[in-house]
Structure 1
């Protein structure tokens, strides 16, 4: 700037208006270029900060959802086992006079009343959504999964809650009053398995279980979302 002032002073002393105007115009251009370069450097620096933050967030997401997916596997197997037990019961419930069918019903009826809630870690996703940092994630597909994750999880947990409430409010009190928890093959339990009221309860219970298993699978299911979030958060471009 001292150099610029000296040049301006010399041109003014010489009373060279044309040269002064040319110089002034050139100085303006230089200043504008300097401002643009400064803005470019600032933009580059902000982008670098955003990418570093994005990378850190994706690492946290990957770690959280990898753990969530691992913790979900035994829950998934238990829910599928509960559904399969119900299928076996209903294949044999009208053939209780046959020893093999009766044994299958008694062996699997108890496993119909599972109820397995799942509570994954959601801290990173909730923070992304509440702070607006979700916009730092450049992958559109990953953003879609993260935004929809809460709805998918709620869809699953609502079905589980309905199932658990039906057990605790309907089936369990009925068994306490009419059955025998201590002896699965007792005469009371055999009588319940021919009772239309209790059978209707089992039918509803199996329906709720099908909803639970359905909400776990498919492209809109809980497991698919977790797998995709793990996959998409693994490879982070610079």
Structure 2
């Protein structure tokens, strides 16, 4: 093809048709430019198509990860609600007449609140997207903004969980070790047969007359309320991100 066009130019020059030659040369340049533009457009189309495929594949994996985090958040919230409810019931026991039923229920309520739950949210796909720039391929600016801010939100909630766990393990449980009989409680409410305790002291009755214990339960009640608020907000953020990803996937079809 190149030889063909060269031969035309040579014939025009040899025949002295300079004007036609110039017009032909200009036309040839225009054709070359058009060819380049078409090639660039095809290349851009291929790149956009590749980016769309990669973005959709990433969004599908991200959606699965977000769904997993929503499930984890729901589980965490239910545990917090149970702890909150048990703490409130213990506080109510301080204002009720002391009887065998109340003293026995205290064991189950304490059993329900002495273990903190630290949930590690899933972040592998999001970290990959942030590190490789795949998040930047997402069309929605709102979704991108939320994904960029999500690690900080998760970290913030995690710090509150850590603070609560520190309170449980370093303050609340050490108090119980000195003022409460774990073996009696575990023998009834745990999955292990530890047998009855030989100590017959009325720890439960003493606890409900102990102001420090009331303060500790009161503190736990307020910390659980804060945990519930933070985890509920985080769950709502996950659910918003989920909806935005679903819209993004629908657009990318």
Q: TM-score w.r.t. structure 1 length?
A: 0.89
Shift of 1:65: 2.0
Q: Quick one: distance in 1 between partners of 2:136 and 2:85?
A: 43
Give, in angstroms, the shift of residue 225 of structure 1.
2.1
Distance in 1, matches of 2:136 and 2:98, equals: 64
Structure 2 partner of 1:207: 222
- Please list the CA deviations of residues 44-84 of structure 1 after superposition, one character each: whole Å capped at 9, or x if unmatched: 11000000000100111112222232343332211111111
| Structure-2 residue corresponding to 1:187 | 202
List structure 1 segments (4+ residues) > 6 angstroms apart after TM superposition.
Answer: none
Q: CA deviation digits over 1:68-113, x for unaligned, max 9?
A: 3234333221111111111222233222446776665554243233
1:134-145 equivalences under 5 Å are 134-145=135-146
Q: In the alignment, is the contact (CA less than 8 A) between 1:117 and 1:160 conserved in 2?
A: yes
Per the alignment, residue 245 of structure 2 pairs with: 233
User: Where does the alignment leave 5 or more consecutive residues of structure 1 unmatched?
Assistant: none
Distance 1:13 1:106, change over 3 A: same
Question: What's the offset of the Cα at 1:41?
Answer: 0.7
Counterparts in 2 of 1:96 and 1:114: CA distance versus 1, 3 Å = farther
Q: Could you tell me whether the CA contact under 8 Å between 1:95 and 1:102 is conserved in 2?
A: no
Inter-partner Cα distance in structure 1 for 2:4 and 2:128:
52
Q: Distance in 2 between matches of 1:233 and 1:186?
A: 59
| Structure ranking higher on relative contact order (CA contacts 8 Å, 6+ apart) | 2
1:157 aligns with 2:158: yes
Cα distance, 1:20 vs structure 2: 1.2
- The alignment partner of 2:242 has SS state of helix
Give structure 2 stretches of 5+ with no counterpart: 186-199
Q: For each residue in 1:165-201, what CA deviation from the matched residue of structure 2 results, as whole angstroms up to 9, or x when unmatched?
A: 1111011111111221123596123212322222222
TM-score, with length taken from structure 2: 0.84
SS at match of 2:184: coil
CA distance in 1, matches of 2:203, 2:100: 17
Count of residues in Structure 1 that have an aligned counterpart in Structure 2: 235
- Say whether residues 1:197 and 2:212 are aligned partners: yes
Match of 2:22 in 1: 21
Q: Does 136-145 or 4-13 show the bigger shift?
A: 136-145
Contact 1:75 1:118 in 2 (8 A): yes
With 103-112 and 39-48 compared, the bigger mean Cα shift is at: 103-112
Pairing of 1:31-42 with structure 2 (within 5 A): 31-42=32-43
For residues 235 and 163 of structure 2, what CA distance do their matches in structure 1 show?
20
Partner of 1:65: 66
User: How far, CA to CA, are the matches of 1:181 and 1:27 in structure 2?
Assistant: 93
